[in-house]
């Protein structure tokens, strides 16, 4: 079955450390997205990519970085510059450049500070 795989499910970060969240999809979708969700809140867009080797900042990109070297992969790095990284992170993809289809989501990664 096609889908989106996020790993790890739980991740802990030490002060000053960069951590990378993995997102892989086998849906052959062009567009991929990273969202942050804080308790009781909605989704805030961190970065999105419409095509390989191209990505755009979302609403809260500071302290995060991404790459899109392959169509199926869109890893997110939470850098030490992100002072409040504790949150639930969701990766999503959608079918084409027009993004007229619904988004498909992974199961999420919960990031906590040690």
Partner 1 sequence: AQTVTQSQPEMSVQEAETVTLSCTYDTSESNYYLFWYKQPPSRQMILVIRQEAYKQQNATENRFSVNFQKAAKSFSLKISDSQLGDTAMYFCAFILTSGTYKYIFGTGTRLKVLA
Please, are residues 46 and 58 in contact by the beta-carbon 8 Å criterion? Answer: yes
The answer to whether residue 34 forms part of the interface with partner 1 (CB under 8 A) is: no
| Residue with the two structure tokens 């567009």 | 31
For partner 1, the binding residue among 19, 21, 23, 31 (CB under 8 A) is 31
- Give the shortest CB-80-to-partner 1 separation in angstroms: 26
Contact status: 41 vs partner 1 (CB under 8 A): yes
- Out of 23, 92, 93, 111, which residue is the one contacting partner 1 (CB under 8 A)? 92
Under rule CB under 8 A, residue 108 binds partner 1: yes
* Among 45, 52, 60, 95, contact with partner 1 (rule: CB under 8 A): 45
107 forms part of the interface with partner 1 (CB under 8 A): yes
62-67: Cβ within 8 A, 24+ apart = 64/34, 66/34
Cα–Cα distance list, 48 to 31, 52, 68, 103 (Å) = 7, 11, 10, 12
């Amino acid at each position: 079955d096609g889908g989106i795989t996020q790993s790890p499910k739980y991740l802990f970060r030490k002060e000053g450390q960069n951590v990378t969240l993995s997102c892989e999809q086998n849906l052959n979708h062009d567009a991929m997205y990273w969202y942050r969700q804080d308790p009781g809140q909605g989704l805030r867009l961190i970065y999105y990519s419409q095509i390989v080797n191209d990505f755009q900042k979302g609403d809260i990109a500071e302290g995060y970085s991404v790459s899109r070297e392959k169509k199926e992969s869109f890893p997110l790095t939470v850098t030490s510059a992100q002072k409040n990284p504790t949150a639930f992170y969701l990766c999503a993809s959608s079918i084409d450049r027009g993004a007229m289809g619904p988004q498909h989501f992974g199961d999420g990664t919960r990031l906590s500070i040690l």
